């Protein structure tokens, strides 16, 4: 919400969504369209994108100088 430790939080959330995808949907079929895991895969990649881009210029991380 405030952008504090955004990269680490998003990286952790991405890993958790990947684990959730493989435990809940990955046992049924390989592809997300076949096993119904589209949202879990989407959230995983969105969180991974946020972890690489950071919280933005108005976040607490940017004010503190953590890049």
Write the pLDDT tens digit of every residue in 6-48.
Answer: 999 999 999 999 999 999 999 999 899 999 999 999 999 999 9
Q: What is the rounded distance in angstroms from the CA atom of residue 30 to the CA atom of residue 5?
A: 33
Determine the average pLDDT of the residues in 38-66. Answer: 90
Structure token digits, residue 53: 């881009």
- Domain residue ranges in the chain: 6-64
Q: Which of 20, 9, 21 is nearest to 48 (CA)?
A: 9
Model confidence at 67, pLDDT cuts 50, 70, 90, reads low
């Amino acid at each position: 919400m405030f952008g504090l430790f955004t990269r680490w939080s998003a990286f952790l959330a991405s890993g958790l969504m990947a684990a959730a995808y493989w435990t809940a949907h990955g046992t049924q079929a390989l592809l997300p369209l076949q096993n119904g895991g589209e949202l879990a895969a989407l959230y995983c990649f969105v969180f991974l994108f946020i972890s690489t881009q950071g919280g933005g210029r108005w976040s607490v991380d940017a004010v503190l100088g953590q890049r």
